[in-house]
């Protein structure tokens, strides 16, 4: 399971929302933690309405203070300040994942939902898109909640490569003693898009029948996945739901009382995600439930 956690910080309280989950997972998994700050070229004096760390000595002192404040005395917490100023923070964090070799990155996301965020993406979502390291995104909502890992929801779409998310979820559930809930989403006729929506208008009866067949196929697929997860030590519940994928995933997670949504993703970001309708970039703006994105690695 995860043995080394990387937590990027910029000095703001918003970014510090990642510290509670990092401390909880480090304690549960016996993992080491590295706190990292990247000096940004032409950095603003404020970020999220607060001071922004722009000087190496100030950043090092801040990381020392955070390590002492947020983690217990027995925790293994390293600190790293990237002193060469960079213009692309997301790419620098991706490169640090190669250098520092974490197996999980934990960071907060703004959770904005405007067009610019869909097209450009937050730093957190770009880190997901660039790398091969799983990323746990925390969306602060102004409420103090202790991070928990008692119930995990795993959306699956029948694509074998996306079962990599299930493998990670099973490992995390076994390590934390968590329950597992796996989900497949089949569209309703009204939530179809593109060519499928056009065909649905022309042949509504045939389209409805095809979607009913897809639901039965999805149920059989989830039954197979549940058997695999049970063989790995975590017998899950499973559910097939109908509707828009992103909204239905969030509704199912809330209904199941999930503490964490675990989703395999090809890491599409920017215009590619905007035009493809990829589910992953939509989720951070729809829920405050933590999201664990597992990049799909070809051949795994």
Q: What is the pLDDT along the chain (300 residues), one digit of tens a residue?
A: 899 999 988 888 888 889 999 999 999 999 999 998 887 766 666 665 666 677 888 889 999 999 999 998 889 999 988 766 665 666 767 676 777 888 999 988 754 433 334 333 466 666 776 667 899 999 876 666 688 899 999 999 888 888 999 999 999 999 999 999 999 999 888 877 777 777 777 778 888 888 889 999 999 999 999 999 998 888 899 999 999 999 999 999 999 999 999 998 876 554 444 334 578 878 888 899 999 999 887 665
Burial track 127-165 (b if 16+ CB lie within 10 A, e otherwise): bbbbbebbbbbbbbeeeeeebebebbbbbbbeeeebbbb
This prediction has a pTM of 0.86
How many other C-beta atoms can be found within 10 angstroms of the C-beta atom of residue 72?
9
Under 8 Å between Cβ of 184 and 156? yes
Under 8 Å between Cβ of 148 and 111? no
* pLDDT for residue 275: 38
**What stretch of H or E contains 5?**
strand 4-8
Per-domain residue ranges of the chain: 4-108, 151-295
* pLDDT for residue 131: 66
Helix, strand or coil for residue 163?
A: helix
Angle, CA of 265, 101 and 79, to the nearest 5°: 115
Task: Please say whether the structural domain 4-108 has been given the CATH code 1.10.760.10.
Answer: no
* pLDDT for residue 270: 47
* pLDDT for residue 184: 94
**DSSP string covering 31-85:** -EEEEEEEEETT--SEETTEE---SHHHHHHHHHHHHHHHS-TT--EEEEEEEEE
* pLDDT for residue 110: 58
* pLDDT for residue 43: 63
* pLDDT for residue 112: 42
Assigned fold of 151-295: Rossmann fold (3.40.50)
Under 8 Å between Cβ of 174 and 232? yes
User: Which token pair is 297?
Assistant: 């690695």
* pLDDT for residue 149: 92
Helix, strand or coil for residue 183?
A: strand
* pLDDT for residue 121: 47
Burial track 249-286 (b if 16+ CB lie within 10 A, e otherwise): bbbbbeebebbbbbbbbbbbbeeebbeeebbbbbbbbb
The two domains 4-108 and 151-295 share their CATH topology (first three levels equal):
yes
* pLDDT for residue 120: 38
């Amino acid at each position: 399971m995860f043995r080394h956690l990387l937590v990027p910080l910029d000095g703001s309280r918003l970014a510090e929302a990642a510290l509670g989950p990092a401390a909880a997972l480090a304690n549960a998994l016996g993992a080491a933690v590295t706190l990292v700050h990247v000096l940004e070229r032409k950095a603003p004096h404020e970020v999220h309405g607060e001071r922004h760390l722009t000087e190496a000595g100030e950043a090092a002192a801040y990381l020392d203070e955070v390590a002492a404040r947020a983690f217990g005395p027995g925790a293994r917490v390293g600190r790293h300040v990237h002193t060469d100023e960079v213009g692309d923070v997301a790419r620098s964090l991706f490169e640090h994942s190669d250098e520092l070799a974490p197996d999980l990155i934990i960071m907060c996301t703004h959770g904005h939902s405007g067009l610019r965020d869909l097209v450009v993406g937050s730093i957190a979502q770009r880190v997901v898109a660039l790398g091969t390291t799983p990323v746990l995104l925390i969306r602060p909502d102004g409420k103090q909640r202790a991070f928990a890992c008692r119930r995990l929801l795993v959306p699956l779409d029948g694509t074998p490569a996306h079962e990599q998310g299930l493998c990670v979820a099973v490992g995390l559930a076994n390590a934390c003693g968590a329950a597992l809930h796996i989900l497949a989403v089949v569209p309703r006729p009204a939530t179809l898009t593109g060519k499928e929506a056009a065909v649905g208008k022309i042949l509504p009866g045939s389209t409805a029948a095809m979607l009913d067949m897809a639901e039965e196929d999805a149920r059989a697929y989830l039954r197979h996945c549940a058997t695999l997860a049970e063989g790995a030590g975590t017998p899950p519940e499973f559910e097939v739901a109908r509707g828009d994928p992103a909204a239905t995933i969030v509704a199912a997670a809330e209904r199941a009382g999930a503490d964490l949504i675990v989703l395999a993703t090809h890491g599409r970001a920017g215009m590619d995600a905007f035009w493809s309708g990829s589910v992953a970039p939509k989720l951070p703006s729809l829920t405050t439930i933590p999201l664990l994105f597992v990049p799909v690695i070809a051949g795994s």
